[in-house]
Chain A
Amino acid sequence: MSLIHKTAAELGAMIAAGEVSAEEVAAAHLDRIEETEPKIRAFLHVDREVTLAQARAVDARLRSGEKLGPLAGVPLAHKDIFVTKDMPTTAASKILEGWRPPYDATVTARLREAGLVFLGKTNLDEFAMGSSTENSAFGPTRNPWDLSRVPGGSSGGSSAAVAAYQAPLSTGTDTGGSIRQPAAVTGIVGMKPTYGGSSRYGLIAFASSLDTPGPFARTVLDAALLQEAFSGHDPLDSTSIDRPVPKVVEAARNPDVAGMRIGVVKEFDGEGYQPGVLNRFREAVKMLEALGAEIVEVSCPSFTVALPAYYLIAPSECSSNLARFDAMRYGLRVGDDGTRSAEEVMALTRAAGFGPEVKRRIMLGTYALSSGYYDAYYGQAQKVRTLIARDFEAAYQKVDVLISPTTPTTAFPIGERADDPMAMYLADLCTIPSNLAGNAAISVPCGLADEDNLPVGLQIMAPVLGDDRCYKVGAALEKAFEARWGGPLLKEAPAL
């Protein structure tokens, strides 16, 4: 089997044993990227020399006897919303085109420290606002399963890169589903850690009370290894949790659901759900039951208003966060001809630099926070947020984890929802509640939909700092499904 088809755990072990160098592994993936990028367009930035130099440095550290983690020398595709000193960072926005940050995000720094090698920066919906990667100012990424379809979003470059074997691992951020939904529609694993479990320092902010960095991988164990590599308390992020990181790798190595109580959320069913998605989900429920779990139907009535609450809270926070793009200290500046005021330059720059979805959300947030509307919109959405957290709390009195389809449909065609914001927002229907409550949640592949032979994801939700439960159940499902399928789901994907 070629290097690009190996898991991160396998590559890490081979590199540690000296069977292959980090440089050789990086080169194999760079070749794969060169070969497949014209079709996939997962990356905004690739620099072969920078990547190979990083890999050689890791090889040198290993040769000198430095103790590095299990992923030392393993290549990774980094979402272009984490700032990186040696690569540009754009958040897929024209307002940041060509920007070279003067510092590293905490996630970036920890991955470097652990010896991971960056293959490049991946495409996303501008400032992580979207569910398809079509909102990138630099063009859409394509789904490796069907090049006419979206790879999900906002972390669609990261999901496509891993599904296309361009990288064994990638990073993402999940504000309303931006890791789980792209993982689901590309047939890979994607995890949203507990809010505060992974640092936001150096992550370009969209909605600060929701943004959560997390991993993509082709296996549950690889995702756990990556999460462990960048997790843990960070004094530079005031919302970072100062508690031990859940034992996610141990959980991923011990797949077992016998005796667990698993709740099926009643509200995530019915109208708007593709029949093939529901069929695969119901099969997975039966499989969990066969593996010894007790299945309990759970009602979370406030989940039905999670989507509207989210589309008030997230735009409100975005309208405030994106005020920093003011054309003064970094990024684009338009119309500064010596006659215009700072305010005029600011307005021209923001109009030229932001794409339509970002403009919509800034205005929606500004509206929701306006005096006279605040109580009815933002204030009321915050109360709904409390009710959703209470629904979760009540559910976790009865069950250990909750499950649902990750997203109501499989990957949709590029262009289908591009100018219909409400249709696009529905892609996050099942993923949003976990963001509003700060809970952990993972998406694992659970088969192909009957109608279109495209991947379906199953979501496993767990309480705050219950990340290990997501991995335990996810690994059990992965093991059972792969036994049934005769290998990973991705082997069904067409050759590129």
Chain B
Amino acid sequence: MSAITRDEVAHLARLSRMALTDEELDHFATQLDVIIGAVAKVSEVAAQDVPPSSHALPLTNVFRPDEVRQSLPPQQALSGAPAVEDDRFRVPRILGEEM
């Protein structure tokens, strides 16, 4: 039995905001099936009572002083933008036609 179907891979691509071609979906579906089959080995470990680690260091609530500091001027902050208008990032429409 396969670990993941092509439809599920297409769904993952949509969730990940990647417009993949049919050919890519075929290819990734086969490969992800093998990879997920292999990484599923973690489920064989008895770990009911083991706490999860999200991180290697025992750090919590790290703060630095809340001080006003120099930030990038707008021209520099916008220097890598694909499109700029009036000192702002220009983006494609984000609302539907009916709005």
Given A195-B57, A363-B13, are A102 and B52 also a contact pair (CB < 8 Å)? no
Contact flags A323-357 to B (C-beta < 8 A → 1, else 0): 10011111111001010111111111011001010
Q: Which residues of chain A are within 8 angstroms of B93 by Cβ–Cβ distance?
A: 341-342
Q: Which residues of chain A are within 8 angstroms of B59 by Cβ–Cβ distance?
A: 196, 238-239
CB-based contact B45/A376 at 8 Å: no
Q: Which residues of chain A are within 8 angstroms of B62 by Cβ–Cβ distance?
A: 238-239
- The total of chain A residues at the interface (CB under 8 A) is 73
Q: Which residues of chain B are within 8 angstroms of A336 by Cβ–Cβ distance?
A: 82-83, 92
Interface residues of B in 1-49 (CB under 8 A from A): 4, 8-9, 12-21, 24, 27-28, 31-32, 34-36, 38-45, 47
Given A308-B42, A383-B45, are A366 and B53 also a contact pair (CB < 8 Å)? no
**A422 → chain B, closest Cβ, in Å?**
6
Task: From A209, A238, A368, A384, give the contact of B56 (CB < 8 A).
Answer: A209
Given A328-B89, A329-B89, A387-B45, are A195 and B83 also a contact pair (CB < 8 Å)? no
Bound-state Cα–Cα, A153 to B99, Å:
48
Bound-state Cα–Cα, A367 to B36, Å:
9
CB-based contact A101/B80 at 8 Å: yes
CB-based contact A308/B16 at 8 Å: no
Task: From A342, A360, A376, give the contact of B94 (CB < 8 A).
Answer: A342
CB-based contact B35/A383 at 8 Å: no
Q: Which residues of chain A are within 8 angstroms of B14 by Cβ–Cβ distance?
A: 347
Instruction: Name which residue of chain B comes closest to A310, CB basis.
Output: B39
CB-based contact B56/A360 at 8 Å: no
CB-based contact B77/A102 at 8 Å: yes
Main SS of the interface on chain B?
loop
Contact flags A102-120 to B (C-beta < 8 A → 1, else 0): 1100000000000000000
Q: Which residues of chain A are within 8 angstroms of B76 by Cβ–Cβ distance?
A: 102
**B12 → chain A, closest Cβ, in Å?**
4
**B58 → chain A, closest Cβ, in Å?**
10
Contact flags B46-68 to A (C-beta < 8 A → 1, else 0): 01001111111101001010000
Given A328-B91, A366-B16, are A360 and B80 also a contact pair (CB < 8 Å)? no
Contact flags A357-386 to B (C-beta < 8 A → 1, else 0): 001101110111010000011011111111
CB-based contact B52/A421 at 8 Å: no
Bound-state Cα–Cα, A143 to B72, Å:
40
Q: Which residues of chain A are within 8 angstroms of B64 by Cβ–Cβ distance?
A: 235-236, 238
Bound-state Cα–Cα, A367 to B62, Å:
30
CB-based contact B42/A381 at 8 Å: yes
Q: Which residues of chain B are within 8 angstroms of A377 by Cβ–Cβ distance?
A: 39-40, 42
CB-based contact B81/A379 at 8 Å: no
**A367 → chain B, closest Cβ, in Å?**
6
Bound-state Cα–Cα, A437 to B45, Å:
18
CB-based contact B56/A308 at 8 Å: no
Would you call A311 an interface residue if the criterion is a C-beta within 8 Å of the partner chain's C-beta atoms?
yes
Bound-state Cα–Cα, A31 to B81, Å:
35
**A242 → chain B, closest Cβ, in Å?**
9
Bound-state Cα–Cα, A312 to B53, Å:
13
Instruction: Name which residue of chain A comes closest to B94, CB basis.
Output: A342
Given A102-B80, A209-B54, A342-B93, are A308 and B72 also a contact pair (CB < 8 Å)? no
Q: Which residues of chain B are within 8 angstroms of A364 by Cβ–Cβ distance?
A: 32, 35-36, 39
Bound-state Cα–Cα, A366 to B14, Å:
10
CB-based contact A354/B18 at 8 Å: yes
Bound-state Cα–Cα, A89 to B13, Å:
27
CB-based contact B12/A332 at 8 Å: no
Given A341-B93, A422-B34, A422-B35, are A348 and B81 also a contact pair (CB < 8 Å)? no
Q: Which residues of chain A are within 8 angstroms of B27 by Cβ–Cβ distance?
A: 356
Given A308-B40, A347-B18, are A382 and B79 also a contact pair (CB < 8 Å)? no
Q: Identify the 5 closest CB pairs spanning chains A and B, nearest first.
A: A438-B56, A382-B52, A330-B80, A333-B82, A383-B47
B residues with CB within 8 A of A: 4, 8-9, 12-21, 24, 27-28, 31-32, 34-36, 38-45, 47, 50-57, 59, 62, 64, 72, 76-77, 79-83, 89, 91-94, 96
17 contacts between A and B (CB under 8 A): A99-B80, A102-B79, A102-B80, A196-B59, A302-B45, A308-B38, A328-B82, A341-B94, A347-B19, A350-B18, A354-B18, A362-B18, A364-B36, A377-B42, A380-B42, A383-B53, A386-B52
Given contacts A238-B62, A363-B9, A377-B40, 20 further A-B contacts (CB under 8 A): A195-B56, A196-B57, A209-B56, A239-B55, A308-B40, A312-B42, A330-B82, A336-B82, A340-B92, A350-B17, A356-B24, A364-B35, A379-B52, A380-B43, A384-B45, A385-B53, A386-B50, A421-B35, A438-B55, A438-B56
